[in-house]
Chain A
Amino acid sequence: DVKVTQSSRYLVKRTGEKVFLECVQDMDHENMFWYRQDPGLGLRLIYFSYDVKMKEKGDIPEGYSVSREKKERFSLILESASTNQTSMYLCASSLNWAIYEAFFGQGTRLTVV
Chain B
Amino acid sequence: AQKVTQAQTEISVVEKEDVTLDCVYETRDTTYYLFWYKQPPSGELVFLIRRNSFDEQNEISGRYSWNFQKSTSSFNFTITASQVVDSAVYFCALSEPTDSWGKLQFGAGTQVVVTP
Contact = CB atoms under 8 A, between A and B. Distances in A.
Question: Does B associate with A?
Answer: yes
Interface of A: 31, 33, 35, 40-45, 48, 50, 56, 58-59, 88, 90, 92, 97-107
Nearest to A101: B47
Nearest to B96: A98
Chain A contact residues: over half helix, strand or loop, or mixed?
strand
Given A48-B102, A105-B44, A99 B33 contact: yes
Contacts, number: 63
A48 B95 CA distance: 14
Nearest to B46: A104
Nearest to B32: A99
Contacts of A43: 91, 104, 106
Given A41-B108, A43-B106, A103 B100 contact: no
Given A42-B91, A42-B107, A107 B43 contact: yes
B19 interface: no
A42 B50 contact: no
A66 to B, nearest CB: 13
B18 to A, nearest CB: 24
Interface in B65-104: 91, 95, 100-104
A88 B9 contact: no
A98 B9 contact: no
Contact of A33 (B44, B46, B101, B104): B104
Given A98-B101, A99-B95, A101-B35, A88 B43 contact: yes
B50 to A, nearest CB: 6
A106 B106 CA distance: 17
Interface string B41-52: 011111100101
A98 B104 contact: yes
B8 to A, nearest CB: 12
Interface string B26-47: 0000000101010000111111
